[in-house]
Structure formats: structure tokens, C-alpha cells
Chain A
């Protein structure tokens, strides 16, 4: 753009022809007053929080359609097509089984190691990919943000919904694995539903926080994989935290307590508790449901408000 040169002299002689009946169009209070008199609203202003919630709700069909569309578009070029929805998580689990189960032999300490591992990997992947997608939700969709008007929170929420749908595919594979390894189905399987709902709220909250951060600092997208991997190893995805931090591990006891407060551990263990028979209540962190609800509310509400606070600035830069 060529703004550096001297601007040409304004020739506004004929200006008033078209705006004859209007008050003189000089900048200043006249225009603001004119706008106020006709009840015009400031363009691009941030809506109030309740308004914002209503707007978001009004766009729920868009959120749903967008996430499904993303999911379908993802593998539409692959020869195996939607089969990859199930293959990707399974291959992931296979890699972890090879390294942690066979090479490092963590399976000795854990009953039903394969169901234990696969559940952990799937549930963790849900949180991980929600956060990664959230980080790019605004910065990777600037075209959309700059072209259309909708509450921006629709984007991170929609990406989390896409991951949830992905997880549901994985869960189907998981059921097959569980049955194959002789885990009996039981009424406790139903607990998976509230656990997933809480985890979804938690993920959506984190995704919204990261969406705002990522929209201001695009470099976050490079940094996040490392943070997430660190978090994963601290979350007992492929080993039992209890065994790692137990009395004979030599670690101070607060490490164990801290790890058990970790929301990823909470959601993973809840899912294991729901699905795997041999994973009893004694292995759960204390007050696990309270923790799960607490984390979901803190992240969900906090993330939503944090995201909304910058609503009018998304799209710049």
C-alpha cells in the first residue's frame, strides 16, 4: 500500500450535493448525535455476555455443521476414507503398546494393560487435539473471521466438537478392544457419558483460552506440542501413576497428590473406572467427581469469559 506519499488535496466541493438534507458532515459530535438519534449501534462492538451467549446459541447449527464438515473433509482424499477415523487412534495405541508395554514393560504392574493403555490414549488424545485445534482456531481461520459475522467462540467450540465426534469413533473401536480382552460390559459403562460431557466442557474452555492466546501470539502453535507432551507424561496415560509415585518410589508424597489433581488424570481415570472392571474405585483420586465437575466449570466458564473479553479484536493482525 502506498500511504507514504503526500495525500492529494481533498476536493470536497461537491460533497454536500448528496448529503444535502443531512447535518454538515464534519467529523465530531454531530455525527455521533445523528447516529444516537436514529438508534444506530457501534459497528464491531463487543456484545454483553448474556447477548453473546444468546448469539452463540443461535449459531448452534452452524457449529454442528462446521465440525461435521471438517471431520468429513479430513479424510475425504484418502483411499481408505473414513476408516482412518478409527485407524488413527488404534495405530497410536499400538505404538504406545510397543514402547511402553513391550520395551519398557510397564504392563507388569497393571491389570488389563491393553484396555488401560488404549483408554488412556484415546481420552488423552481428545484433550490434546482439542487444545491444539483451539490454538489455531482463530489464527488458522482468519479468512472466515474477516469475512463473516458470527460469535467467534463458535470456532473453538466447533473444533472441540469435531474432536468429540472423532473420539466417539475411537470409543467404538475401544468397545471392541475391551470385549476382545475379556472386559465384561456392565452398567458402570454408562458413567462414561457424564465423564465425557465434563471433559468436553473442560476441553472447550481450554480451547477458548488457547484460541485467544494463539490469535495474539501465533508462535504458540509451535510451542504447544512440547507443553502438551510434557503434560501427557505427567498424566499417567501409559503407566499407572499410583505405582510411579507410591511409597516405594522415593518421590515426596506431594508429587503424587499434585499429579492426582491434574485434570487429565481425573478424566482419564474416570473413564478407566467406568469401563474397566479391574480398575476399582480405590485407584481413583479422592473426590474424583467433584474434581471433574470443578475443573470443567473453572475451565469452561473461565475460558468462555476470557475469550469473550477480546471478541472485538479477533481478525486483526
Chain B
């Protein structure tokens, strides 16, 4: 999948996401000296000072001056060590986090793959399918149409009629599978995936990777955040490497991953070397080394 421009007509590629000098800053309350203690809070109020620093607000500069253009038909991997700003950048592209400076332009409404927050553990799986679908902006008719597909895909009913039980009675794997199935039921213009691939058991993982590829065919552009270099190799043809909030590298998957593996292989990832017969062919059969279940 590496060098891609081939499968795009070189004439005029259509950009779907344009990030122009994006900075993202989090402000966190109550982290000043003395943290949340009552006296510290009182002190802050009394001083009423001008600077945020003194007011106990800490600024976390999560993404610094990142620019890139993503085109229709591309699958772009976002890599970087923990806390390097990948997920933050993804949320900003989705329009869920405001940017401090710079602009992000998008074609249509990019959506994050994930509905966890809309689901309720006390409700049955069946009602959660509807609730999640509606939360993602599907209509009741669309959900009805896909309902069976979603349930079958999740495999919840393989071991009995679980879909009519409250979600709190599910095992964590079952719940994660249902969540992924609901989230993946909708087609998107620009799809943002944050490490959703490592959910559930082996057979479900296979199915979900397959589904991601399908979604990519329907979607204009797919962004994938993952710590699994294998999933990145399997799905992406271009990679953005973020390190400490800065865009360190942007290019074809193999080139960037090679540098990245060099970078992580040394200091902080002892488990790494396995994955590094440099520039391995994309369908390398080795198991995903850094796979991480997050959902």
C-alpha cells in the first residue's frame, strides 16, 4: 500500500481535510500549586490575578502548528508515542475540540468512530442500537433497516438472546463488540478511527478490520490512530507522525514507519524490534506488536 499517488488521478486531487497551522491548547483548572485544596482555591480568588498561570490554570499545548492536506480516497495513519497529540488532533478535525489558532477546513462533517458515550448500560442492547444510531444522526428507518446487520455483526446473539438484556450484564468483550458494531453501521465522508481495531476476540478483530476497509471504500478519507504498526501498514497508505504535538514526518507509510521504528526501537519501546525487519512487505504476517485495546 506504500507509495500511493498511483491510484489517484494526478490531474486534480480533491482535498477533504485541510489543516492550516493548527494549534490546540487545553486549559486545565485547579492544577496550580496546592491543587484543589480549599486554601489554594481561596488564595486564587483573593488574588484574582491577571495571568492564567497564577490563577491555577495550566495550559497544555497539545498540538503545535500542524499543517497537512488530506485527499479523497486516502487512508492516513496517525502515529506517535503516547501523549503526542494524535487523538487531540483527530478530535479537532472532527470539530469537537476548538483550535487555539490556525484553521481546519473539511469537506462535510468528519465523524469519529465511536458512540460509547451515548450508550446506557441500564438499557437493553436493542435499545442501545437505536439510541446510538440516532445519536450518530441516522434516522429511525435507517436503523431499522440495518438493525439485523448490526446485531449479526456484533455476534451478541451467538450465545443466546443477549440483545434483549441490559448492557450492564454483558461481558466487557461483548459490550465492546456491540459498541463497535453500532459505530461502524454508518457510512461517513471523512472517517476518524481511534484505535478501535483491537476490540474483542480474534475472529471479531478480523471482521472489524474488514469492516474498516469497507468503510474506507465508502468514505472519502479515513484517518486511523493506532499503536499497532501492523494495522497501520494494513490499512494506510500515508502516515503522519506526531511527536510532542509537532508534525515530525508526513509521507508514505513505509518511509515514515521505518523512521518511527528507529525512533521508538531505542529508548522507550524494548518490545519493539520484532516488528522491524525494515521495510517489511505490507502484509507481513507477524502479530501486531503494539496492539492496544482501548474501546
Contact = CB atoms under 8 A, between A and B. Distances in A.
A50 interface: no
A69 B121 CA distance: 10
A1 B96 CA distance: 20
Interface in B69-114: 69, 71, 83, 85, 91-99, 102-107, 109-112, 114
B166 interface: yes
B117 A148 contact: yes
A187 interface: no
A70 B255 CA distance: 49
Interface stretch (B123-131, B155-163, B282-290): B123-131
A282 interface: no
Contacts, number: 210
Given A143-B116, A148-B136, A150-B137, A25 B91 contact: no
B97 to A, nearest CB: 6
A259 to B, nearest CB: 34
A225 B26 CA distance: 30
B67 A10 contact: no
Nearest to B20: A31
Contacts of B207: none
Contact of B112 (A32, A147, A313): A147
Contacts of B149: none
Nearest to A22: B69
A238 B252 CA distance: 72
Contacts of B166: 76
Given A41-B105, A62-B134, A77-B122, A12 B68 contact: no
B280 interface: no
Interface residues of B, number: 81
A77 B19 CA distance: 47
Interface string A1-33: 111010110111011011111100111100110
Interface residues of A, number: 59
Interface stretch (B10-18, B198-206, B209-217, B223-231): B10-18
Contact of A14 (B14, B67, B123, B251): B251
A10 B248 contact: yes
Given A14-B251, A149-B111, A21 B5 contact: yes
A186 interface: no
A84 to B, nearest CB: 14
A160 to B, nearest CB: 18
Interface string A50-77: 0000000011011001100110110011
A42 interface: yes
A73 B121 CA distance: 8
A316 interface: yes
Given A42-B104, A43-B104, A148-B135, A18 B123 contact: no
A69 B96 contact: no
Contact of B238 (A1, A18, A27, A58): A18
Interface stretch (B170-178, B239-247, B270-278): B239-247
A5 B4 CA distance: 35
A165 to B, nearest CB: 15
Nearest to B263: A8
A38 B16 CA distance: 9
Contact of A34 (B15, B123, B243, B244): B15
Given A19-B68, A31-B18, 15 more contacts: A3-B62, A7-B245, A14-B251, A15-B251, A22-B13, A27-B20, A40-B18, A41-B107, A43-B110, A66-B134, A76-B123, A143-B117, A147-B118, A148-B112, A315-B96
17 contacts: A7-B246, A11-B248, A12-B249, A12-B250, A19-B69, A35-B20, A40-B16, A42-B103, A43-B95, A62-B137, A66-B118, A72-B122, A72-B123, A144-B117, A144-B118, A145-B96, A150-B137
Interface of A: 1-3, 5, 7-8, 10-12, 14-15, 17-22, 25-28, 31-32, 34-35, 38-45, 58-59, 61-62, 65-66, 69-70, 72-73, 76-77, 141, 143-150, 312-313, 315-317
Interface pairs A-B: 5 shortest CB-CB: A44-B95, A35-B105, A27-B21, A143-B117, A40-B105
